[in-house]
Amino acid sequence: MRKDHCIITNSLLIETISEAVCAAVLAVNELGIVISVSREGACLLGKSREEMLGQPVFALFPDWEELRELFNTQQPIHLEASYKKNKYQLSLVPIIQNTYYKGALIVFRDNLQECKEILNDITEGLADGVYITDARGTGLYMNNADYQITGLTEAQVIGRTIYEMISDGLVIGSSVVQVLKTQKPASVLQKTPNGKTVMVTGIPRFDGQGALRRVIASTRDITELIELKKQLEEERRLNDKYYSELMSMKKANKLQNTVAAYSKKMCAVVELAAQVAKTDSTVLITGESGVGKEVIARFIYRESYREKAQFLKINCAAIPEHLLESELFGYEDGAFTGAKKGGKKGLIESVDKGTLFLDEIGEMPLILQGKLLQVLQDKAFIKVGGTKAKEVDIRIIAATNRDLKSLVEQGKFREDLYYRLNVVPVYLPPIRERYEDILPLAHIFLMRFNQKYGAHKELSAEVQELLQGYSWPGNVRELENCIERLVVVTKEDIIRPEHLPLNITAKINKYHISIAGIIPLRQAQEEVERLLFLRAYDRYRNTYKVAEALGVSQPTVVRKVNKYKTIDAPVN
């Protein structure tokens, strides 16, 4: 027991000493059996401790004749020896206890060991980590920066293969493994045990015969860079979002000064107009008189790339037929009696590069429709009295309150011109179908005329309710005229119901319910029904829309309205 205890104690002592010294150490007993191997020793010789412990040292190193000399002389020896084509500085130190030979320490190191101090000096000031393995992926060296970046310890790295570290979960993804497989440089993003993200670049190093000798891996902590990238991307996303919102607010502000688009129908119109404005397509705006067709035309112009060129409006119904051709297309010198000397430039030519708005296009004479068709098809025209076509670059926006398709069927409008104009149709619904826009429009006009006349008028709540309940057969134009009249003629600053025009109050009073005394319930219910159906029909002028608004069938609307209408013709 004493002898075994002594052997164990000596083995532990030898192992402790071998781990403490800065060299690779093997300890053998008196029989030459390896009883201890330092991490440096296993790493340097490319063998694991398990492979070496308990093995005869002569079997491990058959080419080292110096070992036999040591065991024969039992004297310290210092020499240079070779192992697997590598040269090592070898020290053989016998262990003598009470004059008895108990074994030996074999201390050796190669050029890497000699360079470790130099490596430490070089890499000490580096922010990047440096990790070196042998051809088997066994860790030989790691600088302090790499230990700090990865959170690994020397015991987890030195003398252990990269495969063992991956198996233990210390490394996720490895450039060293790729270099060992391909023997080519490789870069890999890795996660470290302390949660950092690092970029590791592995470089193979070869000996004189082209065999892989070392892998040198450079580790850079990019955790902060990734976080910074995320922050920049988030800031860019927010900037794009805020910019988009700002542009939307600017556009909304611009729209509110020109177009009241609060109803779904009008929002759809504005969206379509904004979309078509980016193209050069011909636009045909239709709708009842006074719905704001010119406003939409000017909005398309302002949103187009031609906004810096001229916008010219021509009312085809306002120019006499015999003058319309010469006004539109111009004329040559001597084209007719009384013609201006030198000829005259027409309106179409004067708006070259710009936008021509042809209002009331349905009133254009048939004789001129062919020449307009030529402008649309060929971007050219011929002056009155001329023979040579002149090119022109214009965009045409047309508008009408008439049914052009019906005019085509009647032979009053050219079919080919109709289809040329109707490339992008934009229909403006009457204001009675978009009552949500009535009050916003009213306030826009009120602000405009207050500023124009130096007034400070306001609409009372009762007036706002009455304005919204009126059907406005003259549409936006009628509303605008009404507000201007109220601003001009009302003496008080608050506009009240008694200040409203008679045509509005008479229509409103027509639907006012007044009950004197007690009447039968059925009679009261019938009166409410009558007023409700007539008010809805007066607003929408369409039995299908009335049915949708009141939640009843269209035949019911026809029957009820015909029952209660006493003046107008029957409703179909």
Residue 487: is its pLDDT beyond 90?
yes
Query: What pLDDT does residue 570 have?
Result: 63
Write down the pLDDT at residue 244.
63
**Measured distance CA(65)–CA(367) in Å, rounded:** 121
Share of the chain above pLDDT 70, in %: 79
Query: Do 343 and 486 belong together in one domain?
Result: no
pLDDT in tens, 524-545: 778 778 778 877 787 777 888 8
CB 540 within 8 A of CB 546: yes
Domain total in the chain: 5
- Across the chain, which distance is largest between two alpha carbons, in Å? 146
Over residues 354-374, the mean pLDDT reads 89
Say yes or no: 421 and 438 in one domain. Answer: no
Average pLDDT over residues 454-482: 88
Cα 537 from Cα 557, distance rounded (Å) = 9
Measured CA distances, 567 to 462, 528, 533 (Å)? 29, 19, 15
What is the 3-state secondary structure of 432-462? HHCHHHHHHHHHHHHHHHHHHHCCCCEECHH
Name the residue range of residue 82's domain.
2-109
Q: Is residue 250 part of a domain?
A: no
Tell whether 264 and 379 lie within a shared domain: yes
For 245-262, how does the pLDDT look when each residue is reduced to its tens digit (9 = 90+)? 655 555 545 544 456 678
- The answer to the question of residue 233 being in a domain is no
- Model-wide pTM > 0.85: no
Q: Are both 175 and 211 inside the same structural domain?
A: yes
- Residue 127, classified by CB atoms within 10 Å of its CB into exposed (0-12), middle (13-18) or buried (19+), is exposed
551 and 492 in a common domain: no
Torsion sign over Cα 38, 40, 42, 44: negative
CATH of the domain at 27: 3.30.450.20
**98-107, 155-164, 484-493: which has the minimum mean pLDDT?**
98-107
* Residue 568 confidence (pLDDT) above 70: no
Per-residue confidence (pLDDT) for residue 87, from 0 to 100: 65
- Answer with the one of 366, 401, 429 that is the final residue of a domain: 429
**Alpha carbons 530 and 533: distance in angstroms, whole number:** 5
Cα–Cα distance, 417 to 268 (Å, whole number)? 26
Q: What is the mean pLDDT of residues 40-44?
A: 69
Q: Is 284 exposed, middle or buried (0-12, 13-18, 19+ CB in 10 A)?
A: buried
Residue 570 resides in a domain: no
pLDDT (tens digit, 9 = 90+) per residue, 48-96? 778 888 888 888 777 676 667 666 777 777 666 666 666 666 777 888 7
Residue 282 lies in a domain: yes
In a domain, 36, yes or no: yes
381-429 tens-digit pLDDT: 888 877 788 888 999 999 999 999 999 999 999 999 999 999 999 999 9
In a domain, 516, yes or no: no
